[in-house]
Chains A and B, each alone.
Chain A
């Protein structure tokens, strides 16, 4: 104990101040600054990107990415990684269209699709937590199976989305796209549950240290399985919204979301060590990554450059957070 601990009884104003500091300057706050900075940079180098029209087209995609990132965040908080995102997302879009057309009822198609997603997620969770297969292997394997199912259902072609869904995905409430409202709602609810409910606290504890959680009397299996189920639910909602927005249920819809979703979580600052995490940061990071992509495109670069920039964003995001430690180390 050389220079770290402040003396114990020095509470009051100082403690409040340091608590405020801890709340504001943590690894999840970087992304806010980064996003604001990015908007400023855009305003200078590519003002077209932040015109209302452009923002309006971009936001729904950012929203869909944010919803998938929420699911990915909670899995990473449980020391996992969910590679079954593409399969679950694509399958949900297709199932929704299929069930919608078969039963002619969106009201039935939504819960049916969500239910199937929960089953998929629970199977992932059980394989990980009960059979002890590493998350990445489990979800790679289930993703292969899900993509098989996608092929079976779609026959390898596109399917038109039900009218109602398309209308819903394009609708606006008070000028704000419904998808965006939905994404924000998702983030708020999941964040509130993980941060401010008993179940959420236990969820974080299980992710941080499963053995200690067991010793504290927390049923860890339940939380681990539920994590994958909720994640699958997120992907399913994203899949349905995407189908509605594009107007067709494609057999490849989810493929382009896996890497960006993981990238958003990493850039948002949720570490792979388990426990801590922030779905809000992931959501903001989804916006950041989408805006970054748009900026790169607006500057006349290719989609491939967009990919390169995103890769750099990941490396920089991780390195920046590691810098203070490096600094402390050399001090």
Chain B
């Protein structure tokens, strides 16, 4: 590869999000064998630019070429052409193992045969470090941030990329791993490939980069030779001098009373913090992210539980939850606006008034007049750009959303205002506005605490600044010492590394959260119940009774497989029950003893076709018309049932005796249908864990965005799941023919609930990504067993229902609890 080859070429790239211009006419190129630093503040557009390069975002304007080939919005192709990206937030699928994530993360031609992924993955992880402490079999949910990041880097390096993009790679790494990373980066460039290194740590970039490009507020500030510029020059390019950002004057000195103070306050991620904030004052909390400053603030807001002394205006208070914080007059403006700040679908008016609805109450009810005029006032005062009050807040730009949330928080007239990242995702114009509002609020006597990862912002806004490192306050700056330089140097000096930490989890919960635990638990329950019932009443384990149970279990298991297939990708099908009825009704017109072989054959084909058609309709309703899966399949539930009833208003059409006998064949005491069900479960389970399509399905259910990045086609995969689900309902209907023997339109109805119950007991998650066909089989066996055991134990029939309900609740409660317990961070 010749020197000077350009691997990545971006020309005139712009990217607009609703209301925000994230990138504007950026030109960026990466040469073979270089490390190209990409620097800028938070929100400057670095990650967006690389999102466009990798195809996960589509540029509004401009062209992207990788290795000379134009690419637009196609992650898989970008990866095939040699672009590999390590995200700040790893794009991993949480319910899949480390090995499976590595497998899906590689281009198809580099993937090993999926039979021994764990051994292969262990080898890959060893390439990173010989003593790596990551178990390839572990679910990604159980890894901490650092481990997840290492998996992501290993994945990217293994692609042998032409262009490796590292997005803030050192944020999550311990010192020795940072050195390891630099060594890997050099090895990548030695073989002629190139690296894009995104970071806001200038020193790091200077150490490793050959050239660097500076972004500011979505605009390119030029590309330079790294050696040409010194640190100060880079800084001034990044912040654009002090012209762009003006901050309001600080508080006048004077003796203001202390409003809020903590002493020896500890909580998750921070310990022994003693700080105070006075009326009219803004206290800034600075530090590299994840050093406890946000957690400290959230504990004051009552979202996390903190321990220690907190006093408000001299009185000790306790903050056990967010209502209590609010009652004390402590209001919180969350940093993650989309998750915690706005109610996206609700109007600007509702978003504004929710934190202070009481102000609008006139004789018990909210007066819309008062609410409207208050909202209007806020819109004017905060210069919110919105078509009108009833516009859903989600359609406003980031800055306007933030202003609405800020105005809403302030309308509750807090004594203490906690602000997390006041200007994140806010365009430049709105920033100055927000700074002014915060300062004016302080001047009116409110005590304000601000967390920001932007040192300039903290410096410009705060009267005092506390520097957090590893959960402790290491320094407090005040007066003239509050400058960006002091903050930055203090932050960088104090946090040179972070400890490796991992939350310990009880062995039982760890086991219970694994894939095999539900199987073992249900299997044990089956054996236990069988033994007890067998001792109580020996007829229970008689061949006749066992055969009967197996016959029913086979049908339930087969339809359960279908439901499981769909739930694996996050869907649900309520229509399987009526569909089984319809298939059976169709059969009752063709599979008759006086019908010829041709007619019978047509019957079988039609039965399968009917099933597939319903599956296709469900998929069209969900993926095409974007209906909620439950609404869509409820509609098909009713439609399919109606067709059954129209075809057979009452049960009729005796099925050919020969077919019945064939379907009832037994080997020893075991019905053939049961043997088939067991074999199918084993095959499906094998595919699910050992074949690309199975792993892809679980990945899609686990986290659709990550799956898309890994090149999984969501629509196609869901189509397969919907067709598969209905196909299995059809097959289950065939086994049901032998039990019903006549075209009964209502015969299948109970299988909707039954199939969901079976797989849920077998360990499936309704959110997708988790589940097992063996589990579905065991769940089905267990349900049939519980139903028949009541008879043999002489319990009245209602016990079937009591036991079924209780067992579903118990098993799901255990699974949900255990999966919650092992989640890291």
Residues of chain A touching chain B, judged by Cβ–Cβ distance below 8 Å, are 1, 4-6, 8, 11, 15, 18-19, 22-23, 81, 127, 131-134, 136-138, 140-145, 147-149, 151-152, 192, 196-198, 201-202, 204-205, 208-209, 211-219, 259, 262-263, 266, 272-276, 302-308, 310-312, 314-315, 318-319, 322
Contacts and interface: CB of A to CB of B under 8 A. Distances in A.
B753 interface: yes
Contacts of B642: 304-308, 311
Nearest to A148: B801
Contact of A132 (B383, B753, B816): B816
A276 B646 contact: no
Contacts of B817: 131-132
Interface string B143-173: 0000000000000000000000000000000
Contacts of B397: 1
Nearest to B646: A304
Contacts of A152: 796, 798
Interface in B428-475: none
B507 interface: no
Q: Which of A1, A218, A312 has the most CB of B within 10 A?
A: A1
Interface stretch (B347-355, B508-516, B557-565): B347-355
Interface in B778-801: 796-801
28 contacts: A1-B16, A8-B385, A18-B390, A132-B820, A133-B813, A134-B767, A145-B806, A148-B802, A151-B798, A151-B801, A198-B361, A205-B346, A211-B339, A212-B340, A214-B303, A215-B301, A217-B323, A259-B634, A262-B634, A272-B631, A304-B643, A304-B644, A307-B641, A308-B639, A314-B631, A314-B634, A315-B632, A315-B635
Given A23-B390, A144-B805, A275 B343 contact: yes
A247 B59 CA distance: 67
A103 B40 CA distance: 77
B387 A215 contact: no
A5 B326 CA distance: 34
A6 B626 contact: no
Nearest to B298: A215
A217 B816 contact: no
A212 B627 CA distance: 26
Contacts of A147: 798, 801
Given A136-B766, A304-B649, A311-B642, A212 B341 contact: yes
B19 interface: yes
Interface in B709-731: none
Contacts of A211: 339-340
B812 A140 contact: no
B293 interface: no
A276 B334 CA distance: 22
Given A201-B354, A217-B332, A218-B323, 9 more contacts: A4-B395, A8-B386, A141-B812, A198-B361, A216-B322, A217-B302, A219-B321, A266-B631, A315-B627
B56 to A, nearest CB: 21
B630 A272 contact: yes
Contact of A209 (B342, B361, B638): B342
A262 B358 CA distance: 33
Nearest to B813: A131
B628 interface: yes
Interface residues of B, number: 91
A142 B810 CA distance: 12
Given A132-B820, A140-B808, A212-B340, A149 B387 contact: no
Majority secondary structure, B binding face = helix
B357 interface: yes
Contacts of A214: 303, 322, 340
A127 B628 contact: no
A192 B805 contact: no
B388 A22 contact: yes
Nearest to A259: B638
A263 B639 CA distance: 12
Contacts of B801: 144-145, 147-148, 151
Nearest to A2: B16
B365 interface: yes
A196 B365 contact: yes
Contacts of A273: 345
A1 to B, nearest CB: 5
A278 B535 CA distance: 56
B355 A216 contact: yes
B345 A302 contact: no
B345 A276 contact: yes
6 closest A-B pairs by CB:
A217-B326, A304-B645, A148-B801, A308-B642, A145-B805, A311-B639
B749 to A, nearest CB: 10
Contacts of B802: 144-145, 148
Given A1-B397, A5-B386, A302 B646 contact: yes
Contacts of A145: 801-802, 805-806
B625 A319 contact: yes
Q: Which of B339, B798, B817 has the most CB of A within 10 A?
A: B798
B195 to A, nearest CB: 36
Contacts of B388: 6, 11, 15, 18-19, 22
A214 B797 CA distance: 44
A4 B805 contact: no
A134 B301 CA distance: 28
Contacts of A212: 334, 339-343
Contacts of B649: 302, 304
Contacts of B332: 215, 217
